[in-house]
Chain A
Amino acid sequence: MARILIVEDNEMNRDMLSRRLVRSGHEVHLAVTAGEGLAACRALKPDLVLMDLSLPDADGRDATRTLKADPATKAIPVVALTAHAMASDRDAALAAGCDAFETKPVDFAALSRTIDELLGGPA
Chain B
Amino acid sequence: MTNPEEVYKRALERERLARKEAERLLEQKSRELYDFHESQKRELERLVDERTRELSVARDQAIEASRAKSQFLAKMSHELRTPLNAILGYSEMLEEDAKDAGRARDVDDLRKIQVAGKHLLSLINDVLDLSKIEAGQMALYLEEVDLDALVREVVATVRPIVEKNRNAFDVQLTGELGVARTDVTKVRQTLFNLLSNAAKFTEGGTVSLQASRDRLGLRFSVRDTGIGMTEEQKAQLFQPFRQAEPSTARRYGGTGLGLAISQRFAELLGGAIEVKTAPGAGSTFTLHLPLSEAASEAPAPQRGASGSEAPSHRGLVLIIDDDEAARELLGRILADEGYAVAFARDGQQGIELARSLKPRAITLDVVMPKVDGWSVLSSLKAEPEVSAIPVIVVSVLGERSLAMSVGACDYVTKPVDRADLARVLRTHLE
Query: Interface of A with B (CB < 8 Å)?
Result: 10, 12-13, 16-17, 19-20, 23, 54, 82-87, 103-106, 108
Contacts and interface: CB of A to CB of B under 8 A. Distances in A.
Nearest to A91: B141
A108 B87 CA distance: 13
Given A85-B77, A105-B121, A13 B93 contact: no
A87 B93 contact: no
B141 A17 contact: no
B92 interface: yes
A104 B82 contact: yes
Contacts of B81: 83, 85, 103-105
A105 B85 contact: yes
Nearest to A109: B92
B123 interface: no
Contacts of B93: 16, 19-20, 23
B96 interface: yes
A105 B90 CA distance: 11
Contacts of B90: 12, 16
B84 interface: yes
A107 B222 CA distance: 29
Contacts of A104: 81-82, 84-85
Contacts of A16: 85-86, 89-90, 93
Contacts, number: 58
28 contacts: A10-B82, A10-B86, A12-B86, A12-B90, A13-B82, A13-B86, A16-B85, A16-B89, A16-B90, A19-B93, A20-B89, A54-B78, A83-B77, A83-B78, A83-B81, A83-B82, A83-B85, A84-B77, A85-B81, A85-B125, A86-B74, A103-B81, A104-B85, A105-B84, A105-B87, A105-B121, A106-B85, A106-B88
A69 B397 CA distance: 65
Contacts of B79: 83
Contacts of A12: 85-86, 90
Interface in B69-128: 74, 77-79, 81-82, 84-90, 92-93, 96, 117, 121, 125
Contacts of A19: 93
Contacts of B89: 13, 16-17, 20, 105-106, 108
Contacts of A85: 77, 81, 125
**For chain B, which range describes its interface: under 10, 10 to 19, 20 to 34, or 35 or more residues?**
20 to 34
- Classify the interface of chain A: helix, strand, loop or mixed: mixed
Interface of B: 74, 77-79, 81-82, 84-90, 92-93, 96, 117, 121, 125, 139, 141, 185
Contacts of B82: 10, 13, 83, 104
Contacts of A13: 82, 85-86, 89
A76 B342 CA distance: 48
A51 B77 CA distance: 19
A19 B94 CA distance: 11
Contact of B74 (A23, A84, A106): A84
A13 B85 CA distance: 7
B102 to A, nearest CB: 18
A104 B84 CA distance: 8
A105 B88 contact: yes
Nearest to A53: B78
Contacts of A108: 89, 92
A12 B79 CA distance: 14
Nearest to B90: A16
A12 B88 CA distance: 12
A10 B83 CA distance: 10
Nearest to A83: B81
A21 to B, nearest CB: 11
A80 B92 CA distance: 21
B99 to A, nearest CB: 12
Contacts of B84: 104-105
A86 B117 CA distance: 20
**Closest 7 pairs between A and B when the two form their complex, measured CB to CB:** A83-B81, A105-B85, A16-B89, A104-B85, A12-B86, A83-B78, A105-B84
B284 to A, nearest CB: 31
B185 A87 contact: yes
B135 to A, nearest CB: 13
A104 B88 CA distance: 10
B307 to A, nearest CB: 40
Contacts of B92: 20, 108
B167 to A, nearest CB: 26
A84 B141 contact: no
Nearest to A13: B85
A92 B15 CA distance: 89
Contacts of B77: 83-86
B131 to A, nearest CB: 12
Contacts of B139: 87
